[in-house]
Amino acid sequence: MDMANSNKPHGPLSGTRVIDWTMWQFGPVCSMMLADLGAEVIKVESLDGDHARQFHTVSGSSSSLPGGLNAYFESLNRQKKSLSLDLKSPSGQEIMRKLVGESDIFVQNFRKGVAERLGLGYDDLIKINPKLIYGAATGYGPNGPDSDKPAFAYTGEARSGSLWWAGPNDGNPYNLQSIADQISGIMLCNGILGALVNQKETGKGQKVDVSHLGSMMWLGGNRYGMALLTGNEPGGQERKSARNPLWNCYKCSDDDWIAFAMNQSDRYWPSFCEAIERPDLNENERYRDMGVRTENRVELIAKLDDVFISKPRAYWIQRMDSTEGIIWEKVQSIWDLPEDPQVVQNNYIINFEHPALGPVKYLQTPFQYSETPIETKLPAPELGQHTEEILTETLGYTWEDIANFQDQGTII
C-alpha cells in the first residue's frame, strides 16, 4: 500500500493497536500522541459518548463548532477510530475482551475500581493477552490511602504544591488551567513507550500507572529537586522585583514585550547596557555586579521599564541583534504562533482540511523523526463512526452479528 496516499496515520508506531477507553483530557492526550506516532487507536466510548463531546464551554469561552462539534473533543481525539459500546452488557464485554486479544496497548483513566468492576482491570486483561501494555491514568497513583479518591487536573495541581509556584507571587494559589492533564498525558505516553520497548524484547506486557500528583511533582523539576536537597524552597518572583533583572521581560512603547534570559548576568551586563544605550548603568556602583543589582533590583527594573517603554519592540530587537551575545526573545501570544517561521518550518502547527469544518489548524505532536515522520491524516471521529468496520474487519463479526448487537442495544 502507498502509505503516502493512505488516510491511515503512519510513523514509528505503525502496526501497533491501542484501545483507548478514556474521556476528558488526561487519557485522550496520551492516546492522541500514540495515534500521531502512527498507532491505530480505537476509542471505545459509551453509547452516549465521551463526556467531552458535550463540554461546550471551557474557561468561560465557548468551544462549540459548526455541525454540533466542539473544539474540546476535536483537539484531543484526532487520528482515532470510534467504537461505541455498552460495556455493562455481556455482549459489549465480549466485544471488548475480543478486542483486547487483538491489541497491544490498553489505556484507561477511570477512578480506581471502575475497570475492575467491569472485568477490565489489569489482572483481568493480562490473562486474555499476556503481552498487553495496560496504561492507567490516575489522580494519586495506584497505592496509598487516597489511591481511589476522585481527582481532576486542579486537585492534582493542588496536592502537588504546584499552585504556589505558578502565577504572581502574591501569597495566593494560582489556577493552572488544567496543565496537569497535559503533562500527565505526555508522561503516560512516555511510560507506555518504555513498556513497549520492553515488550518487544521480552514478549511480556505490564501495567503503567501515571498520576496527576506524580506528574505535577515531576514538572516542578529542578525547583523541587533543589528544595529537597537543600531544605530551601526557591521563592516566587514578580516581574517588578525579579532577583536578576536580566532574567525578566519588559514592555515596549507599542505594548509588545521583550524577554531576556541571561543567568550569568555579570558576563552580559556591559553588553546589555550598551544595547539599551545606557552605559551609565554599567558605571553605576549600585548595579556593578549581580550582588548589588539584586539588592537594588526594584529601582533598577523601574529604570529599565522606563528605557524599554520609550521605543517600540522592533527598535529594541534591532539593538539586541546588533550587540553580540544578548539572549533575548519576543513575548508572544497564541495568535502569533501560526505565523512564526520557526513554528511553521518545524510543523509545530499544521494546516488540515477538516471534512466538516473546512481548513483548520492543529497542534502537532512535536516529535521529529528522520525515517518515520508523523502526519495528521484524520480528524476526531463521530460517535461510533468505525463500529461496524472494527467489528467486521478487525474482530471478524458478521453482519448478522452486528444486527443482533444493535437489537440488544450493545452498539448504536
Choose among 72, 81, 30, 20: nearest CA to 51.
Answer: 72
DSSP bridge partners of 260: 248, 328
Question: Does 330 have pLDDT greater than 90?
Answer: yes
Q: Which CATH architecture has domain 239-331?
A: 2-Layer Sandwich (3.30)
Q: Please give the DSSP secondary-structure letter assigned to residue 342.
A: H
pLDDT at position 5? 40
- Is 288 in contact with 233 (CB distance < 8 Å)? no
6: cell is 493512505
Better-scored residue on pLDDT, 2 or 83 = 83
Cα dihedral 29/32/37/42 (nearest 10): 140
Residue pLDDT, tens place only, 104-148: 999 999 988 899 999 999 999 999 999 999 999 998 889 888 888
- Average the pLDDT over each of 42-46, 52-56, 188-192 and give the range with the smallest value: 52-56
- Rounded mean pLDDT, 297-303: 96
pLDDT at position 280? 95
- Rounded mean pLDDT, 367-392: 92
Choose among 30, 60, 55: nearest CA to 43.
Answer: 30
pLDDT at position 3? 37
- The mean pLDDT value of the chain amounts to 90
Question: Does 1 have pLDDT greater than 60?
Answer: no
Class of domain 3-222+365-408: alpha beta
C-alpha distances out from residue 35 to 2, 15, 398, Å: 19, 11, 27
- Rounded mean pLDDT, 213-236: 84
Residue 275: HSE in the Cβ half-sphere, 13 Å Cα cutoff: 23
- Average the pLDDT over each of 4-8, 198-202, 393-397 and give the range with the smallest value: 4-8
Better-scored residue on pLDDT, 235 or 85 = 85
Task: Identify the band that residue 32 occupies on the pLDDT scale cut at 50, 70 and 90.
Answer: very high
pLDDT at position 9? 55
Domain ranges of the chain: 3-222+365-408, 239-331
Task: Identify the band that residue 272 occupies on the pLDDT scale cut at 50, 70 and 90.
Answer: very high
Return d(Cα 347, Cα 351) in angstroms, integer. Answer: 9
Share of the chain above pLDDT 90, in %: 67
